[in-house]
Structure 1
Amino acid sequence: MSLSVEVRGSGPGLLLAHGAGGSAAANFPFIDELAEKRTIVAPDYPGSGGTPKAEQPLELDRLVDEVVASAVDAGVETFGVLGYSMGTPVAVRAAVRYPERVTSLVLTAGFAAADRHFRLNLDLWQQLLDGPDRDALARFVLLNCFSPAALNSIDDWDEVFRSTAEGVPVGTGDHLDLLRTVEVRADLPKISVPTLVVATTRDTLVSPHNSGELAAKIPGARLVEVDSGHLIGAENPKPWLAAIQDFLG
């Protein structure tokens, strides 16, 4: 499948890999800032953004191939990969599968495989997604995407709640199915490019200890922590962007 993709800016390439139930635009609110010094390639997974829902179950290697092809087809031959949440195993596998193309990694709010805590979240997320109660689904998503402080600071709560309930991408169920199968722990010691791991310290969806595992097992990886729930792009994007810019240099 050819993914919907947006290309902005000029300079060294940076490929974006977004999270489950998200999109490049939703998960990376600072694309314009990144594009001031880089060529940003921002594809959307099947069933997200402008990409139609997949006709078959998603597989990690095939998705990685499609994400990488979105950059190559845009004329960007080599690139760093900025992965968020589900995008972190996509980025890791891309670095191992395409070592001649991937020049660096930034792995945010990520994991190498779904542990028991994350699997319980995935099971409940799927159950609510399959059910008729979109308000219950919105409550689950908001509880696990934001820290308590961030939730309490939302002024337009009714609008945020409504948009969360109504704005579920059609491919979300496919993304969740893929997350249950992801296993890239054996890939971690094979990574040879500079790597920054960004842990979201108040994350209740993907526990931050998963970021610690990524940093510990990727040779030479650097770990930074950001005070945020899982949805760092909405809750605390400034220190995230600062860490990315400093790392990419």
Structure 2
Amino acid sequence: MTMPTTAALARTVRGDGPGLLLAHGAGGSVEANYGPIMEGLAARHTVVGVDYPGSGASPAAQGRLEVDELVDQLIAAADDQGLDTFAVSGFSLGGPIAIRLAARYPKRVTALVLSATFAHADTRTELAASLWQHLYEAGEHTALAAYLNLMVLSEPALNALTPAQVHTAAEQFAPQLPVGTPGQVDLVRRIDVRGDLTHVTAPTLAIITTADPLISPALQRELAAALPTAETAEIPTGHLPFTERPELWLKLITDFLGRTARS
């Protein structure tokens, strides 16, 4: 059973200028993942994002999430804003969704930015995601929040906190975990867009999070190497550049989009 295309998903629309679609990560939302840099993105672009089922104000899915359904939602949001062409930024799970979109709509995608992402889950990522999904479904939400601190923060960022601070943060974050978490993480485990990579024609920037415990830099570089149009940049951060290095993340994205727009 797949998610019906008629599901009404919450949208974020900000700014003015060339189109920029945002695809967020599993267990996140447009605001959670792009909020810290939204003002900078919207200063130069019409930014359009869609919260996946069970994130933000979007209702939970009635069945399994499928990548093409999420692509359809992003395209519908772009169409409603009158955007014939647009760049696409994908973070984490949003990366393979952005890749599928760029492969399906090569004439509409002007540029692609991929951050902390992958074309398929390797064994290490699948194991991390399976524990993530299990802890949520078992109702162990505080333990999951603590586990996510371990899996998303760089070693320096995590060690800058005391164990007591980490415990308190986990207790505070646990009630905020999106209800769509298990379905989104299940998609992380299943998604595979390696067959789409040769169909991506847009100039692409792969931003490698070099201290990422969740999506290893090696897996990120494997994706970049398989994309004929990709160049790479590095951020010394864990899985969450918007938390650890938001200014640098914004600069890499906007500089690349500005350069591709002029070329």
Q: Which SS does the other structure have where 1:72 is aligned?
A: helix
| Offset at residue 231 of structure 1 (A) | 1.4
Match for residue 143 of structure 2? Answer: 136
| Matches for 1:134-213 after TM superposition, within 5 Å | 134-154=141-161, 157=166, 160-213=169-222
TM-score, normalization by structure 2: 0.91
Match for residue 80 of structure 1? Answer: 87
Query: 2 CA distance for matches of 1:68 and 1:59?
Result: 15
Query: 2 CA distance for matches of 1:60 and 1:133?
Result: 27
**1:69 counterpart letter in structure 2:** A
Is the CA contact 2:154–2:237 (under 8 Å) kept in the aligned structure 1? yes
Equivalent residue for 2:233, pick from 216, 219, 224: 224
**1:172 counterpart letter in structure 2:** T
**1:71 counterpart letter in structure 2:** A
Q: 1:125 to 1:158 in 2, by over 3 A?
A: closer
Q: Which SS does the other structure have where 2:219 is aligned?
A: helix
Query: 1 CA distance for matches of 2:204 and 2:66?
Result: 24
Runs of 4+ in 1 over 4 A off after TM superposition: 154-159
1:59-100 residue CA offsets vs partner (Å, 9 max, x unmatched)? 111111112211111222211000000000000000011122
**1:191 counterpart letter in structure 2:** V
Number of equivalenced pairs: 249
| Offset at residue 209 of structure 1 (A) | 1.2
1:160-192 residue CA offsets vs partner (Å, 9 max, x unmatched)? 322321111000111011122211111112111
**1:153 counterpart letter in structure 2:** A
Query: 2 CA distance for matches of 1:142 and 1:111?
Result: 20
> RMSD in angstroms over aligned alpha carbons?
1.4
User: Percent identical across equivalent pairs?
Assistant: 48
Query: 1 CA distance for matches of 2:169 and 2:85?
Result: 38
| Matches for 1:12-31 after TM superposition, within 5 Å | 12-28=18-34, 29-31=36-38
Q: Which SS does the other structure have where 2:139 is aligned?
A: coil
Query: 2 CA distance for matches of 1:218 and 1:198?
Result: 13
Match for residue 14 of structure 2? Answer: 8
**2:251 counterpart letter in structure 1:** A
| Offset at residue 159 of structure 1 (A) | 5.1
**1:18 counterpart letter in structure 2:** H
Equivalent residue for 2:103, pick from 89, 96, 110: 96
**2:215 counterpart letter in structure 1:** V
Is the CA contact 1:11–1:38 (under 8 Å) kept in the aligned structure 2? yes
1:90-149 residue CA offsets vs partner (Å, 9 max, x unmatched)? 000000111222111000000000100001101111111122332211111110110121
Give unpaired runs (5+ residues) of structure 2.
1-6, 259-263
| Matches for 1:48-67 after TM superposition, within 5 Å | 48-67=55-74
Equivalent residue for 1:126, pick from 103, 119, 133: 133
Give unpaired runs (5+ residues) of structure 1.
none
| Offset at residue 2 of structure 1 (A) | 2.6
